[in-house]
Chains A and B, each alone.
Chain A
Amino acid sequence: MHPPTTFSLLDADGQEKQFPPEGPVLLALVKEDCDTCNLTLPLLEAVHRATDDGLDVWVAVQKRDDIAVLKERHDLTMPLLDDDALDLSYETDIDTVPTLFLYDQGQNCTLQTFGFDKHEWREIASESMTLAGRSGGDTAIDWESLPEQRPGCGARNYEPGVYERLQALKSGDLLSRVVDLASSDDLHEFMYDQGYTDGFPVVPPTRERVWKMLQGAPRDPQEEVAIMPPNLAPITVEKIAINAVMAGAKPEYLPSIIALVEIACTESFNIHGVLATTMGATPVGVFNGPIRDRIGMNYLHGALGSGNRANAAIGRALRLCARNVGGSVPGGTDRATQGGPHRLTMNFAENEDASPWESLAVEYGFAPTDDVATLMAMSGGPATVADERSRDGRGMAGTLALSMSCMQDPKSPMVDTLVVLSPDHAGIFGRSGWSKDDVRECIMEETSIPLKYRLRSEDAGCGLPPSIIDRFGGEAALDVPVPKFRDKSNIILVVAGSSAAKFSTILGGWAGGVYSTPTSAMIGPSGALTIRGARGADMDKRASGGRDLGAFEPNIRRP
């Protein structure tokens, strides 16, 4: 607590009282529903009467309506000041009432105490008499009848809800524009009208909620986290927190949401392209490590769907950041031809215990104990692969390969995919002793068809231009097998869901993984600690722009 130096409050008659008055003063802060305050208010009144005009006794009451109650209850004549707004309580940062500050003639605070300690209160009463020029005088207080000690009560400025409101208003942490609503505005309709939402209602980002959200990540709220495409707008921690509130997130999700924003804005992930593409891609997040349980993410029943706050809100917060700060709005710079429901949010945790393999994060170079989020760009929504008959790895991989063969279009050889295996399907591979690479290589082989079947034809206009054979050895190339995927690394394997049944999910990626590569971040207390591309080393957290992401070419070897 800090003894105040100057302030101005109204007294019970509405008269402004300027602190400090001339001469010595005893200042107390109290509230009505506190037994210790009620015990000590008669003592303060006694000091007031005994010191007469030699010393001012001012009592600041933390609630306006309580002034009259206390005045009548204790027959008080000393000035009672209105600190209903808690300006004085906040500035002095008291956490207990009653709190006392005694100032001498030079406005130096010489004694202070809180709660009731008879020894300290006697000292303050005695010193008050001395300062008033009545050294040794009688305050008419029956000290013997008083207890030795009574704890104080929690000050109103530290009550839940009140503390956050005061911090939000007075801490200076929040610098975003305040949007005033008219009394006739319906808050939710107003936010829809402003284009702030993704079509569902959002939690109103009040100052209190945003301040509380910021407590989830110990970081300067004004720190610029990234440059958010497509408008290339700087996005601060505060802006992320506002959108996180709107998405329904809890403060403990904030470091993850900041990390996702950082990943999204890397050159490697290229959220500019992901959100602008006519193909309708969207960031899909996969979480690994202890954070999954710490923030209550779902990796069991219905992991890819609704019903879990962390899964839903973290992904939604990233999308709202892209919309509200980045300016990615469907029909504007978001040119998705159709899009899909996974564009609202798609974010889940890997069921690491049920996987026969190392987790996605470990595969990408992190430790099992690291908290890691990986973003990948997916344009195809979840498609179910049902196989209740396969009993070995070969059979299961064959089912996956057949299911993937029509992805995007049956002839396309430039696809990438996220395969979310159920524990039952993953277990088949585990029991067969198949590694992730065994699965990928089998899928590469099983999806390979001669180049001639991947060429455009009269009966199906999709496929590669027939002239492509000129670049790969002419007619002889027609029978060269061409896999569905440019590279086996375009087949991403994770495990999620419960062991309910033998159903897995495949999602189609975006443009063969050429324009956006899976990118991971180790999540620290306030965002990404390191960011790593799946196929590269650590990278700068900030996009540098202009990097050539490689050719958009099928994987055709010369005959």
Chain B
Amino acid sequence: MVTQILDPTDERVPIKRSLTPRPEALHGTVALLDISKPRGDVFLDRLEELLHERAPGIETRRFMKPTVAKPAPEPIKQAILEECDFVIEALAD
């Protein structure tokens, strides 16, 4: 009878990730990230409109991944981190 097998996984212990503290109010610059999926731009255009309408004073900046098929390149992630206070990603279709 088999009583022992070898682990087929990568054996990595999951890393605990904590959420960034949530700000009380919307302020500063909001990054709007288009992941290059169809109609992501339509969604973000409308969202941008609504943001300026309902949260006057905030700035928005648009970013776009070069391809939907891969994680965002490091420079885009770095720019969002350094230049923006919030990010909204238009995810999936």
A178 touches B7 (CB 8 A): yes
Task: State the 4 A-B residue pairs at the shortest beta-carbon distance, nearest first.
Answer: A273-B69, A233-B10, A515-B69, A177-B7
* A278 interface contact, C-beta 8 A: yes
B9 interface residue (CB < 8 Å to A): yes
* Residues in B lying within 8 Å of A, measured CB to CB: 2-12, 36, 66-71, 73-74, 92-93
**B2 in contact with A180 (CB, 8 Å):** no
Q: Complex: how many Å from CA A278 to CA B12? A: 26
Residues of A within 8 A of B5 (CB): 178-179, 181, 187, 191, 204-206
Contact yes or no, A233 B92, CB < 8 A: no
**B8 near A233: Cβ-Cβ < 8 Å:** no
> Quick check: is A277 within 8 A (CB to CB) of the other chain?
yes
| Alpha-carbon separation in the docked complex, A553 to B4 (Å) | 52
B92 touches A278 (CB 8 A): yes
| Minimal beta-carbon separation of A91 from chain B (angstroms) | 22
- Asked whether, in the complex, the Cβ of B7 is within 8 Å of the Cβ of A270, the reply is no
Distance, CA A112 to CA B66, complexed state (A): 72
Which stretch in A39-47, A239-247, A283-291 binds the other chain?
Answer: A239-247
Give B34 Cβ to nearest chain A Cβ, in Å: 14
A272 x B70 contact (CB < 8 A)? yes
Nearest residue (CB) in A for B3 is: A181
Q: Across the interface, which residues of A come within 8 angstroms of B9, CB to CB? A: 196, 324-325
Cβ < 8 Å to B, chain A residues 38-64:
none
Please tell me if A501 contacts chain B, counting CB pairs below 8 Å. Answer: no
Chain A interface size, under 10 / 10 to 19 / 20 to 34 / 35 or more: 35 or more
- Could you name 9 residue pairs across A and B whose Cβ atoms are closer than 8 Å? A196-B8, A205-B8, A206-B4, A210-B6, A233-B10, A235-B10, A277-B69, A325-B10, A549-B69
Q: How far is the CA of A546 from the CA of B8 in the complex (A)?
A: 29
Chain A proximity of B74: nearest CB distance (Å)? 7
Most chain B CB atoms below 10 A, which of A174, A234, A511, A546: A546
- Within the assembled complex, what's the spacing in Å between the Cα atoms of A278 and B8? 26
List A contacts of B92 (CB < 8 A).
278, 335
Q: Please judge, given known A-B contacts A206-B2, A233-B12, whether A176 and B69 are in contact too, CB under 8 Å.
A: no
Across the two chains, which residue of chain B brings its CB closest to A516?
Answer: B69
A341 to B42, CA, bound (A): 35
In this assembly, does A8 line the interface, its C-beta being within 8 Å of a C-beta of chain B? no
Residue in chain B with minimal CB distance to A228: B10
Set of chain B residues within 8 Å of A179, measured between Cβ atoms: 4-7
CA distance in complex: A515, B65 (Å)? 13
- Give 16 new A-B contacts, CB below 8 A, not counting A516-B69, A549-B69: A178-B5, A180-B4, A191-B5, A204-B5, A207-B4, A231-B10, A270-B70, A272-B71, A325-B8, A515-B69, A546-B73, A546-B74, A548-B66, A548-B67, A549-B70, A552-B67
Q: How far is the CA of A239 from the CA of B7 in the complex (A)?
A: 8
Which residues on B sit within 8 Å (CB–CB) of A15?
none
Quick check: is A330 within 8 A (CB to CB) of the other chain?
no
| B6 and chain A: residue at smallest CB distance | A176
Contact of B93 among A174, A278, A325, A549 (CB under 8 A): A278
Q: A273 CA to B65 CA in the complex, in Å?
A: 14
Interface residues of A in 221-238 (CB under 8 A from B): 228, 231, 233-235
State A180–B70 Cα separation when bound (angstroms): 38
Does A145 sit within 8 A of B, measured CB to CB? no
What is the distance, in angstroms, from A516's C-beta to the closest C-beta of chain B?
8
A445→B66 CA distance, assembly (Å):
31
**Alpha-carbon separation in the docked complex, A298 to B66 (Å):** 40
Given the complex, which residues of B lie within 8 Å of A181, measured CB to CB? 2-5
Asked whether A37 is an interface residue with its Cβ less than 8 Å from the other chain, the reply is no
Q: Contact check, A270 vs B69: say whether CB atoms are below 8 A apart.
A: yes
Decide yes or no whether A6 CB sits under 8 A from chain B: no
Of B7, B73, B93, most A-chain CB atoms within 10 Å: B7
A20 within 8 A of B: no
Least CB distance, B33 to chain A, in whole angstroms: 17
Is residue A554 within 8 Å, beta carbon to beta carbon, of the partner chain?
Answer: no
Bound complex: CA A207 to CA B4 (Å): 8
Closest to A191 in B: B5
* A234-B10 in contact (CB<8A): yes
Near B by CB (< 8 A), chain A positions 510-552 give 511, 514-516, 546, 548-549, 552
Q: How far is the CA of A434 from the CA of B90 in the complex (A)?
A: 48
B77 to chain A, nearest CB (A): 12
Q: Is the CB of A187 within 8 A of B7?
A: no
Contact A178 B4, beta carbon cutoff 8 Å: yes
Give A511 to B73 CA distance when docked, in angstroms: 20
Q: How far is the CA of A276 from the CA of B9 in the complex (A)?
A: 18
Docked CA distance A277–B70 (Å):
10
